[in-house]
Structure 1
Amino acid sequence: MSTFGVDAGLFVFNGRPIRLISGAVHYFRIVPAYWEDRLLKLKACGFNAVETYIPWNLHEPREGRFNFEGIADVTRFIELAHKLELFVLVRPSPYICAEWEFGGMPSWLLADANMKLRCMHRPYLDKVDAYYDVLMPLLKPLLCTNDGPIIAMQIENEYGSYGNDKAYLDYLRDGMIRRGVDVLLFTSDGAEDSMLQGGSLIPEVLATANFGSKPEKAFAKLAEYQPDKPAMCMEYWNGWFDHWGEEHHAREYDDVAGELDNMLRSGASINFYMFHGGTNFGFFNGANDFGRYEPTVTSYDYHALLNEAGEVTDKYMAVREVIARHVGPPAVPLPEPVKKMSYGAVRLTEQAKLFDQLDRLSRPVTSVYPETMERLGQDYGFVYYQTQVSGPRPKSKVVIQEVRDRALVYLNGDYQGVIDRNEHDNTLDMNAHDIAVEISPEGSKIGILVENQGRVNYGWMLKDSKGITEGVRLAGQFLFNWEMYSLPLDDLSELRFGLLREEERSVASLNSPSFFRGTFEVSEPADTFLKLEGWNKGVVFLNGFNLGRYWAKGPQQTLYVPGPLLLEGKNEIIVFELHGTIDPVVRFQDYMVLG
């Protein structure tokens, strides 16, 4: 049995003072075959601890159905860290932020329109309790008090940025203790009065601070609230994440190394957020909304010490040098780089149009009014709504109240345009970007394909239901009697593809959302990067694995393909493209382009 705690303003492990130099590595953003490589590189940089969140939505994707296998095998990740003699900091709180879909909370919480999040609301607490009843027994044998590597666990994440319900924080803490968690507990918040007051349980629980610069100011503010505890930066933001349509974020290594040197010289402990960012595979990217909705890109490179593909950067080498000056050289050498390869161009020769495949992908649900994705029992992906409208009617504006997040509108199967969450006006006034349709005398079918681009992961807009959240109007009249197809795209095995003839490319490919399929041969699987030049917006599946979203607006221009996802021999790629492409060719290259 080992002990870790606080004594006389210091962290103490088994009675001896210790300083934590930790880095965030999210197992759920890395294919399991590379977990050990990333942890070895952490240790080879001079770190003695690894920190990870635990996303509830990954582990309980359907209420009462739990997943701890494959990329969700958190205990195996922690055991690997133990094998490498790393301490582990675990952040299992119901909410994690992390630029992860819905901040890590499961979408099915929102099927209850009355659900209140992150507070003493009994229906919410009941869901948390059911999850913790499964999760905590898995973590308990890995606590340092049971000779495991976990030395500390978080109660809630940046709660002071959201609320101030101390009874809720007490409830989470007591629930962890009741389930056998007997290691150091902590909270983490921004170093501001309101955040520390709302999010901490001082003096019973250690408070830590999150920031990217000015450590002296942040630690001074933290010391005002707990002068007798060690200074710990739980999130040292040494880079940043990207939203679609903005510039790629970068932070110079000398700036990062200089701030680290200041913190280590002051005696503080630190957790780099991130040490290695990884990838938002599938539909797990989050979003922000502070008056404008901004979804996060697929890459979570974060301009961190290791890049998205786990490669050592200049920032890594600069940080390694600073740590060596303060605590001595790292205990292990750097592992060999992971091999990268270019496989060249692959032509996708088969096509399956979405609207021809609806009955293979989904079973329609009928309702008087359009239902949200969550009410349909769906977590991620798309929903297709359609209704018949009587005619004739003059050209009238199509209004969606409210669309979450991006809708493609069709009239009798013909594409009319996009209604975007940010741009659409709910009034009857016509603007240049609005969609207006004319209904024929015999009536017309209106179809709306809505994409969930990622639920909000931070701030007051967390309750972010997807699909059509209120209704659809043609001019001032609500349209009722809808048929809805859930399209999570988690099983494409029933799709029926046809060969795409040369003369069809410039016509058939552009009118309808389509799946394009191709195969290619690999003699030696290795890491590679998928370039989709000439494509517009969609999702890529490699050998059945959802690599994530692409969008021509950038900044990200390539999707990371870890070598373990490739097969020796024949491989299959399916691209779901929303707006069409003239030439259905993709390219596998040996370098990333993030902006």
Structure 2
Amino acid sequence: MSERQGLRADSTHFTLDGAPFRILGGSIHYFRVPRAYWRDRLLKLKACGLNTLTTYVPWNLHEPERGVYRFQEELDLEGYIRLAGELGLWVILRPGPYICAEWDLGGLPSWLLQDKKMKLRTTYSGFTSAVNSYFDKLIPRVTPLQLKVLQTVNLQKLTFGDVQHLAELQPQKPLMVMEYWSGWFDVWGEPHHVFSAPEMISIVRELLDRGISINFYMFHGGTSFGFMNGAFDLGTYKPQTSSYDYDAPLTESGDYTTKYHLLRNLLSSYSNEPISEPPAVQSRRAYEPLAVTHYISLWESLQCAETLFRADDPVNMESLPANHNNGQSYGYTLYQTDIYSGGDLNSRNHVRDRALVFIDRELIGVLDNRTQKVKIPHSKSERTLSLLVENCGRVNYGPALDNQQKGLVGDITLDNVPLKKFTMHCLDMKTSFINRLQSQKWTSVGTKPTYPAFFRGSLVVDQPTDTFLKLPNWSKGVVFVNGQTLGRHWSVGPQKALYLPGPWLRSGDNEIVVFEELKAAETIQFAENLEYGKTVEVSTQLFCTLI
């Protein structure tokens, strides 16, 4: 039996085991899709006429603590690759260690930031040794499954010279657009981005007519569940939404779009054999509004916090002695100190990323990258100053990548005098924290709540079904379903509902907990579809990068 030749790039077109081959790929990240839906999403990709699945590998999920590795259940990378193979799909694996992907810190684990000399994505020994240790665990898992690959280009709209430049870089080699951007990501407080389906199809047709291989980023965006959304900062910090719908051919919940149908029709004309029929779409349901029944204030929840730490100066969350000394990665950190006067509280831009400011538990203002001063009323009595600081998401690309410590990252001053003697509480809001919280004494909502607070209600389900959770007339916070962190909610939009997959629910009672910073309503509502505020067409010329 002759040895397989694998994928070769020895001429102007790919060959696979000696036969001409064009890569028609689509990106679906296993970590953004519930495992129960992996097969469904991959079958839909194949039924569109694609032959290749592309996925990143997020280091920060696979090694959440230094030396602790997770490759099971929802993170079973080998299972995902094997499933693709069973369905007749090839896989392009993009293992990182850096992945960008609108993912917190571009997939790099936050514990790297405990090293004050850390230089990410460089030959700095603290970085390379951590990468080597991780790759020692990752690479042996995927090496037996791999063939080979080369330089490619990323783009959305064709501009003069993009593909020609790539051809000149590597003459007599196949051309491939590794990331053809089917849409774009969203950030909080700005419109939802869409990209015209007819324009996309027109560009894809031109690429295919020129014999170019292509990978759609994203084919199905999915969801940045929990606190895993990234951010970007090219002068102004902007956190990204929990939804990663991306205006892709498959929606966040796996529905077919106009892009999907147009693309399927186009690709079928380039295929020598009929492509499979698309699977049926999953059912969804708008459950009846859920009454909120109980709440517990943030202040009462502090006894459930994992770590209490005291120091003269504020300590950024990654350097707190939490999580087996790997620091705090996500969520909120509460900083408290006593003050004896009033005046101008100045963050000196040391708040990362947003802080609610309280005097004796009364909210007096918000500090972020735009607002760096709050006026504190004068008083001669001793008072407690509290700053609840939220990590809104670490940037995933750009020059700010090395400076992504969160919480308070330096002194804050009161009338130009640095404040001292801080008590810090880690509110990482992991499943273990939410479970501890459930055993505490909750108050009936008949009593006016003290904000911030956790609000609770029970959703009774007969047959678990996909839905979208909505919080109209709420303000900002986080949603938890049966102890798992679903995602962030924020009234500024554009995202107006959170995708709640059926596999996150169970028959019978389901506990929905909402952490709300400022203003709660009496009910939690549901919808059948994702909802957005204002929408804008992606019209600016997006950058191209060689990878």
TM-score range, shorter chain: over 0.9
SS at match of 2:193: coil
Contact 1:215–1:259 (CA under 8 A) maintained in structure 2: no
Which among 251, 259, 276 is matched to residue 332 of structure 1? 276
Letter of the 1:590 partner, please give it.
E
In structure 2, do the counterparts of structure 1 residues 330 and 476 end up closer, same or farther at CA, with 3 Å as the change threshold? farther
- Is 1:493 the counterpart of 2:435 in the alignment? yes
Give ranges in structure 2 of 5+ residues lacking alignment: 321-326, 534-547
Alignment partner of 2:161: what SS? helix
1:66 is matched with: 69
Q: Is 2:417 the counterpart of 1:467?
A: no
Give the Cα separation in 1 of the matches to 2:65 and 2:10: 43
Partners of 1:542 and 1:501 in 2: how far apart?
A: 19
Instruction: Give 1:278 deviation, angstroms.
Output: 0.2
Q: 1:330 to 1:477 in 2, by over 3 A?
A: farther
Q: Is the 8 A contact 1:344 1:587 kept in 2?
A: yes
User: Does 2:219 align with 1:267?
Assistant: no
Equivalent residue number for residue 354 of structure 2 = 406
Who is 1:591 aligned against? 529
- For residue 494 of structure 1, what is the amino acid of its counterpart? R
DSSP 3-state at the match of 2:45: helix
1:285-311 CA distances to partner (integer Å, 9 max, x unpaired)? 000001110000010000000000000
* Match runs of 1:334-373 below 5 Å: 334-373=278-317
* Cα drift, residue 569 of structure 1: 1.1
Number of the residue aligned with 2:538: none
Q: Is 1:246–2:194 an aligned residue pair? A: no
Provide Cα deviations, 1:489-531, integer angstroms capped at 9, x if missing partner. Answer: 00211112423243x3xxx33x421000110211111110001
Report sequence identity in percent: 42
Name the SS of the counterpart of 1:249 in structure 2.
strand
Aligned residue among 326, 338, 355 for 1:388: 338
459 and 452 in structure 1: CA distance in 2 versus 1, 3 angstrom threshold: same
Contact 2:295 2:445 in 1 (8 A): no
Equivalent in 474, 499, 504 of residue 560 of structure 1: 499
| Structure 1, unaligned runs of 5 or more | 144-150, 152-182, 185-205, 426-433
Q: In structure 1, what residue type is equivalent to 2:469?
A: L
- 1:478 matched to 2:418? The reply is yes
AA in 1 matched with 2:413: R
Give the letter aligned to residue 375 of structure 2: A
Shift of 1:215: 6.2
Query: Structure 1's 263 and 31: CA in aligned 2 closer, same or farther, altered over 3 A?
Result: same
TM-score using structure 2 length: 0.93
8 A contact 1:514–1:580 mirrored in 2: no
Please point out which of 293, 303, 315 is paired with 2:259. Answer: 315
Task: Give the Å deviation of 1:400.
Answer: 4.5
Distance between the aligned counterparts of 2:461 and 2:405, measured in 1?
41
Residue type of the partner of 1:569? G
After superposition, residues 187-226 of structure 1 pair within 5 angstroms as 206-214=150-158, 217-226=161-170
1:299 aligns with 2:243: yes
CA contact (8 A) 2:473 2:519 kept: no
Listed one character per residue, the Cα deviations across residues 201-251 of structure 1 (whole Å, up to 9, x for unaligned) are xxxxx2100000116631111112112211100000110010001111111
Partner amino acid for 2:88? E
Matched position secondary structure for 1:471: coil
* SS class of match (2:435): coil
Distance 1:59 1:319 in 2: 34
For residues 16 and 40 of structure 1, do their structure 2 counterparts lie closer, same or farther at Cα, with a shift above 3 Å needed?
same
Q: RMSD over aligned Cα, in angstroms?
A: 1.3
Give the Cα separation in 2 of the matches to 1:572 and 1:74: 30
- Contact 1:528/1:588 (<8 A) preserved: yes
CA distance in 1, matches of 2:72, 2:51: 27
1:35 corresponds in structure 2 to: 38
Change in 2 beyond 3 A, CA 1:232/1:501: closer
The CA deviation at 1:486 is 0.7
Q: C-alpha distance in 1, partners of 2:478/2:516?
A: 7
Provide closer, same or farther for how the CA distance between residues 414 and 400 of structure 1 changes in structure 2, counting only shifts above 3 A: farther
1:558/1:592 contact within 8 Å kept = yes
Change (3 A) 1:394 1:593: closer
Deviation of 1:281 after TM superposition, in Å, equals 0.2
Aligned equivalents of 1:515, 1:247: Cα separation in 2? 29
Cα 1:88/1:276, change in 2 over 3 Å: same
**How big is the shift at 1:363?**
2.9
Count of aligned pairs: 519
1:236 aligns with 2:180: yes
**Structure 1, residues 168-198: CA drift from partner, whole Å, max 9, x if none?**
xxxxxxxxxxxxxxx23xxxxxxxxxxxxxx
Task: State the SS of the aligned residue for 1:494.
Answer: helix
The equivalent of 2:28 in structure 1 is 25
CA distance in 2, matches of 1:216, 1:46: 28
CA shift, 1:69, in A, is: 1.6
Deviations 1:251-273 (A, max 9, x none): 11111111110000000000000
Rounded Cα–Cα distance in structure 1 between residues aligned with 2:111 and 2:303: 24
1:407 and 1:419 in contact (8 A); partners too:
yes
Deviations 1:435-465 (A, max 9, x none): 1113532311111000000000011011211
Worse overlay, 519-528 or 434-443: 434-443
CA–CA separation in structure 1 for the residues paired with 2:58 and 2:345: 41
Q: More displaced, 437-446 or 298-307?
A: 437-446
Partners of 2:182 and 2:24 in 1: CA distance: 14
Deviation, structure 1 residue 592: 1.6
Question: Is 2:474 aligned against 1:535?
Answer: yes
- The 3-state SS of whatever aligns with 1:374 is helix
- Cα distance in 2 for partners of 1:216, 1:334 equals 36
Q: How many Å separate the matches in 2 of 1:32 and 1:13?
A: 30
2:371 aligned partner, one-letter code: H
CA contact (8 A) 2:343 2:414 kept: no
- The letter of the residue matching 1:387 is T
3-state SS, counterpart of residue 134 of structure 1: helix
Q: Say which SS state the counterpart of residue 457 (structure 2) adopts.
A: strand
- Are the structure 2 counterparts of residues 215 and 8 from structure 1 closer, same or farther at C-alpha, using a change threshold of 3 Å? farther
